[in-house]
Amino acid sequence: MTALFEHSPWVEARADAAPSRGDRHADLMAVVHAATPGEQLALICAHPELAGRAAVDRTLTEASAAEQASAGLDRLSEEEFARFHALNAAYRERFGFPFIICVRLTDKAGILSAIEARLANDRDTEIAAAIAQIGEIVRLRLEDAR
């Protein structure tokens, strides 16, 4: 089975150890929201940059590789790759973690537009946005597992 959270099995383990609400997604996201700020940041940082080094050297998880491919991030022109690289670097410099978006719900242009728009946010807003996007990623992965 595909891991629901990138390199963060602790989320599923904690959800499994707690009483269930009868909604797996809600159980998992309750764990994320109850996590310490440091744990939340580690969860965010466990995600790869979009069209980043992990995509080039093929170290993405199977799920991330498929998700990035669904948005065309595995087929970027040199110009598009350079733009992603520059925006990823600016985002990481500003916030200290990678830009997270549920790529299956958008396309290359939408992703680039979202990075540019979200660069104007403050760090707390971006942490909340990243967690919300992780929630969307997990929701779709759960649906795929059914």
Catalytic residues: 47
For residues 104 and 99, give the distance between their C-alpha atoms in angstroms, rounded to a whole number. 15
Looking at residue 103, the DSSP 8-state letter turns out to be G
For residues 114 and 111, give the distance between their C-alpha atoms in angstroms, rounded to a whole number. 5
For residues 128 and 17, give the distance between their C-alpha atoms in angstroms, rounded to a whole number. 25
> Among residues 133, 76, 75, which one has the least CA distance to residue 106?
133
Residue 45 makes CB contacts below 8 A (sequence gap 6+) with: 97, 98
Question: Which amino acid, 37?
Answer: P
For residues 146 and 141, give the distance between their C-alpha atoms in angstroms, rounded to a whole number. 9
